[in-house]
Amino acid sequence: MAKEQMTPMMTQYLKTKEEYEDCILFYRLGDFYEMFFDDAIKASKELEITLTGKDCGLSERAPMCGVPFHSASVYIAKLIEKGYKVAICEQVEDPKTAKGIVKREVIRVVTPGTVVDEELLDEKNNNYLAVIYSQRDKYGFAVSDISTGEIYTTEISGADEALNEIARYEPKEILLNSDAAEKLSAQVELRFHITPDECTDDFFENSEFEKNILQQFGKNSLSEIALDTKPYAVRAVGAMIAYLEHTQKTSLTYLNTINTYEVNQYMDIDVNTRRNLEITETMRDKVKRGSLLWVLDNTETSMGARLLKQWIEKPLINPIEINKRLYSVKELTENIMLRDDLSAVLSGTYDISRIISRISLGTVTPKDLIALKMTLLQLPELEYTLSNVKSPMLGDMRKNFDLLEDVCDLLERAINDEPPALLRDGNVIKEGFNEEIDNLRIAMRDGKKWLAALENEERESTGISKLKVGYNKVFGYYIEITKSAIKDVPDYYIRKQTLANCERYITPKLKEIENTILGASEKIVTLESYVFEQVRTSVSEEIERLKNAAHIIATTDVLLSLAQTAYKNNFTMPEISDNGKIEITDGRHPVVEKMSKNSMFVPNDTLLNNDDDRMIIITGPNMAGKSTYMRQVALITLMAQIGSFVPAKSAKIGIVDKIFTRVGASDDISSGQSTFMLEMTEVSHILKNATSKSLIILDEIGRGTSTFDGLSIAWAVVEYIQNKHKIGAKTLFATHYHELTELEEELDGVKNYRIAVKKRGDDITFLRKIVRGGADDSYGIEVAALAGVPKEVINGAKKILKKIENDEIVVEHTAKKHEDTTNQIGFGDSIANEIADELKNMDVTTYTPIEAMNKLYELANRAKEI
């Protein structure tokens, strides 16, 4: 491209574009943001807007498209959603006073992880930018949400832990150094559908990282000790600051607090477990409805909704901190009047966390400040409502209350109660706050009176009854006279414009009034902008106090939400301990119960500990409720550790450090992994990372390969997990391999449970009750019938099964493969052993008297064959 032939404007554009090659450049021309060349081609396609052309000095016109600047946020949102970055290039000098081409500069780069505009954000979700620095197998991890001012950092070991932290925060954008990119990029794109930023290591290479961090956050936020012991975290945080300065082009003083944490401060929940338990979104549709978050979210505010999600993503492992939350929820659950009062107060508040950020970044609107004022006006009522609380957590917030009366008073005096959305629209500053603005408004109001008086005066002096004074942006004020009255126009009238039916004139007096009115109008816009900036600056000096108020509102909202959920759903307060026991009476699945409005949920008990009940092996047919039961145990444990009441009659929860799940089977085509390979990869991860304090949920291990291989692997996995010298974790293990029930007799800590089933002829009913003992049948054909498999196929299956049972079709049974071994797998094949096993595993409580008599008759007839 021959730049020397370009027009001055296009030369300026290309120079700017060179600095922001990875962005779509929104280049301000008058009332539009224009895009050129490749940017225009991309944007026109993605935004579905017309692609045109512009003369640029070359023989061919430059491809061009544009969007109105006043609605640009809508178009920017679409591009950000598609993963693009947008550089906003504004005119930074007045075109009226500019000599030559107007000076333009990029004032902000909008990226998926640095969005602050309200219309571009999801109000109930944080918008995180993640930065990861890796060297060898050590990782520095930092995330920030600049729309709320939150920054977190830690150090971790291994790629798996790095991926788990990414899953915890669900960032919209990820910045990696080259070493981290080599290890993580493929997995990040595959698992989180995020393409990491293609950048050089420039952001990560700075000899003054520590100095910059201390300048940004102060020694209280990130101590010198932390800096010395977390060099990788320092790199990640330093790169984050550099990247934010590059994109925001403004002061980041409001980012003055950083939260350093250790990974083991919270329950570890890996990527697969988050997906399988559907903690914040459903596995299939990726929506909130049907997730644990959906059940627990009864928040009144956006701030509370975001904090609740953070609590769910970060379950605690400190019993003291958990109980602080639980006792606050207990007090609110038991006091309906307190709940109602708090709900009424919180519903009158706004998302001041994000307003605070926009104040600091200079993008706050007049309506934002009114929303802030309305929230501050609720603080006295909130303080009063909390004045008699007894729980320590709520009480501590009450003690630290700051009503921010000075800030509220400033906003009350300065900003009109119903201001326009944009500052440039005027009438923002309240009357009485600034004398000069008041005088200019008087001049504008009197100017209108002067115009009305002038119109009447000219009508009387000229005798032209239809004379009128008008205004347009091109000619300003004018006197309009119809063609029929032109003969009566005085000599001192100066013709300004001729139209088809009339003539327009000005007079010296009209010009004088015009100068006064328009001068006042222009001055008032400039002056209001100046005064508004002063108010913004004054409020920005109280950021820390405002952040504290936002935290109190959000925390109160989360505790209230958990209390409302507990009250509505008949949840109970769990007992938290460090004894390693999980004892649940009449536990229920929180989501399934809520979704099953037309049917009664069948509750179940659970006993797990570190001794005789470490592992529960659950047998029973598909569709009977094994997976639901196991998931509910995991969810009840997780809920307890976030400080929530749980769906059970009673629950004693020993702290769990990690939850692992391996549920379901599906090919991972995109990564080239088969069902079995994926299953084994996940099992390997669990066996390498679980501890004796973990909770493991395994569903149908070994099903993805041949029967003998699968059974062998499942058997070995049970032995490995059960062994206290290896793992010894509390485990729920669902299986179709009935042979595994023999392990109860062979291994300490293993107990057999099964799903109770009622059978009448060929019909079966799943009672969804977990009872002691192993299942005596898989009921595969019956389940197939329930699923709607054609009767012809069902009948064919029954005939084949009968032939197998009668040895008409020879199938090599597992027991035969091991009949010469001392460690035989399977049940005895004699009639006597079959009857004994059936009696041992029979749950007589599920039979009616008639069914019991029929079963007894059947067993008696079989016994006669012995």
State the binding site for ATP. 620-627
User: What Rg, from alpha-carbon coordinates, does the chain have?
Assistant: 36
The answer to whether the CB of 311 falls within 8 A of the CB of 297 is no
Q: Are 554 and 301 in contact (CB under 8 A)?
A: yes
Q: Which two tokens stand for residue 399?
A: 């003690």
Neighbours of 47 (CB within 10 A): 18
Tokens describing residue 682? 């996940």
CB 796 within 8 A of CB 809: no
C-beta neighbour count of 706 within 10 angstroms:
10
Dig out the tokens for 418 from the structure.
């119903």
Q: What 3-state class would DSSP assign to 477? A: strand
Alpha helix (H) ranges present in 599-654? 626-642
- The annotation places the binding site at 620-627
- Residue 313 to residue 293: CA distance in whole angstroms: 10
Q: Do residues 164 and 271 make contact, with C-beta atoms less than 8 angstroms apart?
A: yes
User: Using the 8-state DSSP alphabet, how is residue 845 labeled?
Assistant: G
For residue 854, which of 534, 53, 862 has the smallest C-alpha distance?
862
Indicate the SS3 state at residue 766.
Answer: strand
Tell me how far apart the alpha carbons of residues 582 and 524 are, in angstroms, rounded to a whole number: 69
Pairing of strands 750-760, 502-506: unpaired
Q: Where are the alpha helices (DSSP H) in 170-230?
A: 178-192, 209-217, 224-229
Q: Who contacts 57 (Cβ-Cβ below 8 Å, separation ≥6)?
A: 5, 6, 7, 10
The span from the first CA to the last CA of the chain, in angstroms, equals 97
CA distances from 172 to 252, 267, 663, 681 (A): 20, 23, 27, 27
Cα 498 to Cα 306: distance, rounded to the nearest angstrom: 62
Q: DSSP letters along 57-95, please?
A: SSSSPEEEEEEEGGGHHHHHHHHHHTT--EEEEEE-S-T
Q: Is 223 exposed, middle or buried (0-12, 13-18, 19+ CB in 10 A)?
A: middle
Which SS3 state, helix, strand or coil, does residue 667 take? Answer: coil
Q: Rounded CA gap, 379 and 763, in Å? A: 63
* CB-facing half-sphere around the CA of 793: CA atoms within 13 A: 11
**Helix boundaries (H) for 480-599:** 508-540, 543-569, 590-595
Distances (CA, A) of 411 to 217, 377, 538, 539: 28, 11, 10, 9
Alpha helices in 193-270, H assignment, sequence order: 209-217, 224-229, 231-248
